[in-house]
């Protein structure tokens, strides 16, 4: 299971600064240029909550304060961009690099949970940057972070109220389709003698600066970062004792009751009329967009829109399959060899986990994904039963296991039904949910549109299917 979690974490491996200062904590005007606003009054928390409840991704707000330029004339309001809007909470990324710190001063480890920069962000920074009322809005979030130990990649968990983005989050929320979103590169000028940013100067003297991400770098004693020059994240990283840019991120709760109801399954996100219309008008054979994913991590161009073929269009729902298989989401099917099947596979559990769904879809999109009964081939011998769960004998006399899933993989029968001209994808293999006749193996679709089997512990691409409610 540890091996599977390591691969899954890899698979799940994110602000144009044109704002105008408004009074209080109001939203900034993205059509004008501004610099830092001197702190005159604390942020009005009630107004901030109201602003965030109506905010869209890409909107700007003020929250907290920090001394951010060389003049040392007092704290300035911190400007943030909403990079993720969810039910009752919003993910904010600081518009500017607000300070410069070493990732790990002692160079003992580049793991985020034990780093000095994490201690500083969740200690001194929180206490000085936010009032007690503002601190009450900061959501403690469990983060997963990649780190290296003896040349092996691992995943560590930490609970943070303030954090740095991971490489995956940078790709997801900040980079998109080869374009720079939300002001990457980040434009500040650091004065090395004061370790502060001077952004009061004229536009021509401002320079792009790099900033830390929280994953370890692949280099020796390094942490990942975003480059100053091109604004692309750097997997090799920067030596972790280097004084480098800090651009914090926070989850802010603007409606605690609504968030609690949503997490308990008692509330749904507000509808998205454009999304509803897109699904409502879809016909069999159409190609639609739904969700985003990093299709080519090596290009470091962020997440792209996902495309889906509509296979069936019923009155109240549509069946869709991903237009391609995702090599960046290569996963083992299962590390359980005594009863290898879709029903018991770790892959099935992972794909239907809320955290994984959130890496592909917004809450409003997740609300459209139906929980559906899925039949998966278990054995061509109807007398061979799985270790547990519901089963049914199909018209072909084969034994199928029944599961309830939101996201699932295709079966051989579905591929042959819907893709009469061939279902192979060039240079790509992808898992099916059918169990092979060999107990420790599962079937997969080969590039030449044949069905083959492979050890369930090997990594193969994924091609998702799901039912979307109209």
In the chain, where the domains are located: 2-257, 273-469
d(CA 255, CA 276): 25
d(CA 402, CA 378): 10
The full length of the chain comes to 470
Q: What is the band of 62 on the pLDDT scale with cuts at 50, 70, 90?
A: very high
Question: How would you classify residue 183: left for phi > 0, otherwise alpha for psi between -120 and 50, otherwise beta?
Answer: left
Q: What percentage of the chain carries pLDDT values higher than 70?
A: 76
Diameter over CA atoms, the chain: 80
Query: Which two tokens mark 276?
Result: 């509803």
pTM: 0.69
**pLDDT above 60: residue 269:** yes
Helix, strand, coil percentages in the chain from 3-state DSSP, rounded to 5: 20, 35, 45
**pLDDT above 60: residue 365:** yes
**pLDDT above 90: residue 310:** yes
CA 400, 403, 405, 407 torsion-angle sign: negative
**pLDDT above 70: residue 200:** no
d(CA 15, CA 59): 9
pLDDT score of 26: 45
Question: How would you classify residue 275: left for phi > 0, otherwise alpha for psi between -120 and 50, otherwise beta?
Answer: alpha
d(CA 170, CA 222): 18
pLDDT score of 162: 98
Contact between 468 and 290 (Cβ < 8 Å): yes
d(CA 60, CA 129): 18
Q: What is the band of 326 on the pLDDT scale with cuts at 50, 70, 90?
A: confident
d(CA 45, CA 145): 31
d(CA 338, CA 333): 13
- The Cα-based distances of 6 to 122, 124, 290 in angstroms read 26, 32, 27
pLDDT score of 299: 59
> For the residues 261-289, what does the mean pLDDT come to?
89
CA 417, 419, 420, 425 torsion-angle sign: negative
pLDDT score of 176: 52
d(CA 274, CA 163): 33
Contact between 6 and 155 (Cβ < 8 Å): yes
Phi first, then psi: give them for residue 424, nearest 5 degrees.
Answer: -70, 150
H helix or E strand, kind and range, residue 246: strand 244-246
pLDDT score of 204: 36
**pLDDT above 90: residue 311:** yes
d(CA 15, CA 22): 18
Say how many CA atoms lie within 13 Å of 260 toward its Cβ.
3
**pLDDT above 50: residue 199:** no
d(CA 433, CA 341): 8
d(CA 296, CA 245): 27
Q: What is the band of 120 on the pLDDT scale with cuts at 50, 70, 90?
A: very high
Q: What integer best gives the mean pLDDT of the chain?
A: 79
């Amino acid at each position: 299971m540890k091996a599977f979690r390591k691969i899954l974490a890899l698979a799940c491996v994110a602000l144009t600064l044109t704002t105008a200062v408004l009074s209080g904590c109001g939203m900034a005007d993205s059509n004008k240029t501004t610099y830092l606003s001197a702190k005159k009054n604390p942020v009005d928390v009630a107004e901030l909550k109201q602003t965030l409840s109506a905010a869209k991704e890409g909107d700007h707000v003020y929250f907290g304060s920090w001394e951010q330029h060389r003049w040392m004339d007092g704290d300035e309001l911190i400007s943030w961009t909403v990079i993720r809007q969810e039910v009752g909470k919003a993910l904010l990324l600081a518009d500017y690099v607000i300070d410069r710190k070493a990732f790990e001063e002692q160079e003992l480890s580049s793991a985020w949970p034990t780093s000095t920069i994490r201690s500083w962000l969740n200690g001194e920074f929180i206490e000085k940057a936010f009032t007690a009322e503002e601190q009450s809005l900061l959501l403690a979030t469990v983060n997963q972070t990649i780190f290296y130990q003896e040349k092996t990649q691992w995943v560590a968990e930490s609970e943070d109220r303030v954090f740095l983005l991971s490489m995956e989050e940078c790709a997801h929320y900040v980079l998109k389709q080869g374009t720079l979103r939300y002001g990457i590169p980040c434009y500040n000028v650091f004065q090395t003698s004061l370790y502060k940013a001077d952004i009061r100067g004229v536009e021509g003297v401002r320079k792009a600066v790099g900033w830390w991400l929280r994953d370890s770098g692949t280099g020796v004693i390094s942490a990942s970062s975003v480059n100053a020059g091109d604004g692309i994240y750097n997997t090799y990283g920067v030596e972790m004792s280097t004084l480098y840019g800090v651009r914090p991120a926070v989850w802010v709760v603007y409606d605690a009751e609504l968030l609690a109801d949503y997490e308990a399954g008692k509330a749904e996100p507000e509808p998205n009329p454009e999304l509803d219309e897109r699904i409502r008008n879809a016909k069999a054979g159409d190609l639609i967009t739904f969700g985003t994913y990093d299709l080519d991590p090596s290009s470091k161009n962020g997440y792209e829109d996902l495309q889906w073929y509509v296979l069936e269009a019923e009155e109240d729902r549509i069946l869709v399959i991903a237009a391609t298989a995702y090599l960046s989401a290569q996963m083992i099917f299962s590390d359980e060899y005594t009863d290898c099947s879709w029903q018991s596979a770790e892959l099935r559990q992972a794909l239907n986990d809320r955290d994984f769904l959130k890496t592909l879809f917004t809450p409003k999109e997740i609300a459209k994904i139906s929980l559906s009964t899925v039949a998966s081939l278990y054995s061509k011998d109807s007398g061979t039963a799985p270790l547990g769960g519901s089963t049914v004998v199909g018209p072909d006399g084969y034994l199928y296991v029944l599961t309830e899933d939101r996201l699932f993989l295709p079966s051989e029968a579905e591929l042959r039904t819907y893709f009469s001209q061939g279902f192979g994808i060039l240079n790509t293999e992808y898992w099916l949910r059918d169990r092979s006749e060999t107990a420790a193996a599962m079937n997969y679709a080969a590039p030449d549109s044949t069905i083959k089997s492979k050890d369930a512990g090997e990594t193969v691409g994924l091609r998702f299917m799901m039912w979307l409610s109209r």
